[in-house]
Amino acid sequence: MAGVAVSTTINGDAVEYLCQPDETLLEVLRDRLGLTGAKEGCGTGDCGACSVIVDGRLVCSCLVLGAEAEGRKVETIEGMAHGDQLHPLQQKFLEHAALQCGVCTPGFLIAAKDLLEKNPSPTEEEIRFGLAGNLCRCTGYDKIVRAVQDAANVMKGA
Amino acid sequence: MNFDPRFSGRKFASVGTRPIRPDGVDKVTGRARYGADFNMAGQLVGRILRSPHAHAVIKSIDTSKAEKLAGVKAVITAKDLPDLTDGDAAMYDILDNCMARKKALYDGHAVAAVAAIDARIARQALKLIEVEYEVLPHVTDVDEAAHHHAPLINDQVFTEGLEEKPAKPSNVTKRTQFGHGDVHKGFAEADFVVERSFKTEQTHQGYIEPHACVASVNADGTADLWVCTQGHFVYRQHCAQLLGLEASKLRVTSSEIGGGFGGKTHVWAEPVALALSRKAGRPVKLVMTRDEVFRASGPTSATSIDVKIGARKDGTITAAEATLRYSCGPYAGSWAEIGAMTAFACYKLENVKTVGYEVLVNRPKTAAYRAPSAPMAAFAVESAVDELAHEIGMDAVDFRIKNAAQEGTRASYGPVYGPIGIGPTLEAVKHHPHMKAPLKENQGRGMACGFWFNFGGQTCTDLNIGMDGSVSLAVGTVDVGGSRASLSLVAAEELGIDYSHVKAIVADTSSLGYNDMTDGSRGTFSSSMATISAARNAIKILRERAAQTWDIPVEDVIWEKGHAIAKGEKYGNLSPLSLKEIAAASGKTGGPIAGHSELVADGAGVSFATHICDVEVDPETGSTRVIRYTVVQDAGKAVHPTYVEGQYQGGAAQGIGWALNEEYIYGKDGRLQNAGFLDYRIPVCSDLPMIDTQILEIPNPNHPYGVRGVGETSIVPPLAAIANAVSNAVGVRMTHIPMSPPRILAALDAEREG
């Protein structure tokens, strides 16, 4: 099979790659580009561990083809911090112990970032429904919700 | 110097604080490397072919077409994993589960595997493998399998634990019994007796990270395995034995682990990956799909439990009896035995008897799931206890307080308890504001207790002090939820230095002595004990170096707040030496300073919890929402209270999923019908309320800081607490978990029809 040549932007950097027509964006990120922060928990769009933002839209990268990234802007967990300055959500996840095993954490952070960009003052219910596409099996979500609430307050004050 | 593990009642400086975990930044930036995040040069992709049949003889396997496909580098079957188990029946079962030898025993059982240059070719190759099956009758239900007419899964199994060896083989592998007193006499003394049967369906641990490993076997017989596991030393032993390697030549590195909850305590695909690598002569990465995780890793048992409890009018339980049948998958296990041990562990009983039956079924091999076997037994017992309290006319909490086990009580499973937390958790619940909060229409409140043994086990830890005075702590228990933070706190506490100067890592199997796996809530309990011991050994050297520097007897040097201090007025002019100063001089005073510890962490303190739950049931749809949840649990000593709370909340959330929604659904064809997160629905964020926690600290007398394991007990009470809440909300006793909407509607319909 001939590869598809793709030019895209990932975390602000111009990136080019060849991928197979049936290869997912998640496979491209992980296996071709070495960006292993997005995780495959299910491969069927049910767990959100592979969440990335494409042109401002939160997606499961396991449900997007690598070829579809052509000409778009992709944001992954690797681009969330500014240099050594953690994003407020990252900092609050650490402070609230909103992670135990941590494998769902990149997906939650991306989903929470997307949520707060669209709704800077979410209620608890809005946070819970906003993050309902991401599965966490360790925390019971309590500390995740509190971390997002705290981060929202910090970001509004900034 | 002998290590004294007894509780000393010291005041803490670091332990009990809530710093950020040392592995935190890696985990919020995506840098942490899990099972599937590691790669080696020349690596191949491994894939496993699995049986579509629940029970079938494997008549032949033709791999020739797959082998000819361009890009395929190895194809293996059971022939490539010869039986080296030498009569070890448990290891043989593990081998047979990794790759079916004569029969496929469940939908998803591995029958062959390939290694290819990429995933697409590997998948294509699987389709070219021709397996000829002779399909056999199967059985997936625990009660049907225990029946003497059921299809036999293994005709060499004769029930153990009976007075006489049975004449015929059976799917019941073992009968076990626990208890004391005379239950017949006890029931004769009872004014009220409740007798009920309960069922729970099979659930999966549901860790978000599928099993993943990279295996590399070299031509010289050495090998490396990178793997997500709860116990890399155990994986090394299993893999070395199954592959015929010398253990020391197989280095196993535990990756970050994306959840395990018991499901990553023994090998599944790792020996297959090693066998593929050996045959291909190249490294092989093998990652399970979610479908494979559900079909072919190790879920918990499905159960069927009969309970009978009698009490006098004054609320004293006179007798308690339970018969517990637990599914084991197709291989022998001891799951009902554990259920039979835990069932009545919360109570002080004169007459108690529990009997467990281990039952083979054509489902995947049962594995541990957080306090394995205890939640189901607690569901049955705590439901009956609630009903009995109601019949007597006593408050459910008061009834339990009256019968609660205490220090000196002989447990229903044998031992006599030391100081325990069941009474204090019940008292805390009795006075908790949650118990007095008003309820609305269609809402109900329930509560329930839970017990877990906790475990200690073999543990080895190294503590190395750098020339700059910073401390490297190497532990061998895999960190499943923040133990590197708690163990760093313990090292800081013992050495009297700041947490920020300690860095804990999980060492690989070639860098540290053997450690049992992280199970039985042992990670922080046992490794903190070993860390304290290692730190004390290092302190001994630090004192010696200071004594040498000062040229005084070491007996005159004490260690306090990170400093060596010369004790006594005659040394008044000697300024204390800090750890940093002693470390900086170590090159001239005798070389590197380190403390090591190898021990068996005995004395894991038993753990109790009591949970309160409010639910709202929609009588039209049967849908149930948990609207408030409170966990009260004894931690002994909470080393890092935030992560202790996290364990309480996580266990409760898993229990809520189990109670209301999660179950393995098998078709008549014996195939799993819901092998994915869409149809096997674990709780999502919008399903749950905040989960309140209250940490009690009743010190474990067998740990220097009083620590007990905290990870597992939190999943024991929820099934019963929620069942009691739903039963109180709808006025019908719920006896089948999960209480999914159709089951609740059916129970309501049955009640209406009388």
pLDDT at B629: 98
Segment B309-335, tens digit of pLDDT? 999 999 999 999 999 999 999 999 999
Is residue A157 very low, low, confident or very high in pLDDT (cuts 50, 70, 90)? confident
In this prediction, residues B193-222 reach a mean pLDDT of: 97
Contact (Cβ atoms closer than 8 angstroms) between residue B332 and residue B152: no
Chain B from 295 to 334: CB within 8 A of any A CB: none
pLDDT confidence tier of residue A6, bands split at 50, 70 and 90: very high
B263 touches chain A (CB under 8 A): no
Strands B607-617 and B443-452: antiparallel
Does B123 contact chain A (CB < 8 Å)? Answer: no
Residue B753 has a pLDDT of: 86
Mutation for testing the B interface, residue in A138, A145, A146 having most B CBs under 10 Å: A138
Distance, in angstroms, between A103 CA and closest chain B CA? 5
Rounded to a whole number of angstroms, the CA Rg of chain A reads: 16
CATH number 3.30.365.10 is the correct assignment for the domain at B24-32+456-600 = yes
* A105 contacts on B by Cβ (under 8 Å): 27-28
β-pair partners for A1? none
Its CATH architecture, for the domain B141-414, is 2-Layer Sandwich (3.30)
pTM of the predicted model, to two decimals? Answer: 0.98
Residue B584 phi/psi, 5-degree rounding, is: -65, -30
* pLDDT greater than 60 at residue B1: no
Among B29, B289, B688, select the one facing A90 at the smallest CB separation. B29
* pLDDT tens-digit series, residues A36-78: 999 999 999 999 999 999 999 999 999 999 999 999 999 999 9
Alpha carbon of B574: minimum distance to chain A alpha carbons (Å): 41
**ipTM score here?**
0.98
Q: Which amino acid type is present at position B517?
A: M
pLDDT at site B189: 98
- The per-residue pLDDT of chain B, averaged, comes to 97
* Closest C-alpha among B91, B95, B130, B87 to residue B112: B130
Tell me the shortest Cα–Cα distance from B142 to chain A, in angstroms.
27
- Residues belonging to chain B: 754
pLDDT band at A1 (very low <50, low <70, confident <90, very high): low
Structural fold of domain A4-78: Ubiquitin-like (UB roll) (3.10.20)
pLDDT tens by residue, B5-59: 999 999 999 999 999 999 999 999 999 999 999 999 999 999 999 999 999 999 9
pLDDT digits (tens, 9 = 90+) for B101-152: 999 999 999 999 999 999 999 999 999 999 999 999 999 999 999 999 999 9
Comparing CB atoms, the residue among B20, B25, B482 nearest residue A100 is B482
Q: What is the pLDDT of residues B485-502, one digit of tens each?
A: 999 999 999 999 999 999
Residues of B in contact with A99 (CB under 8 A): 24, 27-28
Q: Which residues of A touch B21 (CB under 8 A)?
A: 94, 97
- CB pairs A-B closer than 8 Å: 178
CB < 8 Å to B261, chain A: 137
* Residue-level pLDDT at B494: 98
| B685/A132 touch (CB, cutoff 8 Å), yes or no | yes
Burial of B393 (0-12, 13-18, 19+ CB in 10 A): exposed
Q: Does B210 touch chain A (CB under 8 A)?
A: yes
- Beta-carbon separation of A135 and B690 below 8 A: no
Reading the block at residue B364, the tokens are: 């995947």
Domain ranges of chain A: 4-78, 88-157
Residues of chain B found within 8 Å of residue A22, distances taken between Cβ atoms: 120
Does the domain spanning A88-157 belong to CATH 1.10.150.120?
yes
Query: CATH topology of B24-32+456-600 equal to that of B141-414?
Result: yes
The alpha carbon of residue A71 is apart from the nearest alpha carbon of chain B, in Å, by 24
For the segment B578-584, the average pLDDT, to the nearest whole number, is 98
Q: Provide, as residue numbers in chain B, all residues whose Cβ is less than 8 Å from the Cβ of A86.
A: 25, 28-29
Q: What percent of chain B lies above the pLDDT cut of 70? A: 100
Residue window 431-460, chain B: list those with CB within 8 Å of chain A.
none
Distance in Å, alpha carbon of A40 to nearest chain B alpha carbon: 7
The answer on pLDDT for B188 being more than 70 is yes
Q: State whether A134 and B685 contact (CB < 8 Å).
A: yes
How far apart are the C-alpha atoms of B485 and B504, rounded to whole Å? 8
In chain A, residues with a C-beta closer than 8 Å to the C-beta of B34 are: 39, 103
Chain A partners of B27 at a C-beta cutoff of 8 Å? 99, 102, 105
Pairing of strands B502-506, B471-475: parallel
Q: Where in chain B are the domains?
A: 24-32+456-600, 141-414
Per-residue three-class SS string for B315-380: CCEEEEEEEEEEEECECCCCHHHHHHHHCCCCECCCCEEEEEEEECCCCCCCCCCCCCCHHHHHHH
pLDDT at A158: 66
pLDDT digits (tens, 9 = 90+) for B346-401: 999 999 999 999 999 999 999 999 999 999 999 999 999 999 999 999 999 999 99
Judge whether B523 is closer than 8 Å to chain A, CB to CB: no
| Contact across the interface for B480 and A100, Cβ inside 8 Å | yes
pLDDT in tens, B670-689: 999 999 999 999 999 999 99
Instruction: Work out the average pLDDT over A11-35.
Output: 97
Check whether B566 has a pLDDT greater than 70: yes
The 8-class DSSP code of residue B570 comes to G
A-chain residues near B645 (CB < 8 A)? 97, 143
Q: Are B290 and A134 within 8 A, CB to CB?
A: no
Cβ-defined contact of B258 to A102 (cutoff 8 Å): yes
For A141, the closest chain B residue by CA position comes to B685
Which of B18, B26, B28, B680 best tests the A interface by mutation, with the highest count of A CBs <10 A? Answer: B28
Please tell me the predicted confidence (pLDDT) of residue B747: 94
Nearest to B707 by CA among B640, B642, B623: B640
Domains A4-78 and A88-157 are alike in CATH topology: no
Does the beta-carbon distance from B646 to A77 stay under 8 Å? Answer: no
DSSP E strand stretches across B23-119? 44-50, 56-62, 72-76, 103-104, 110-116
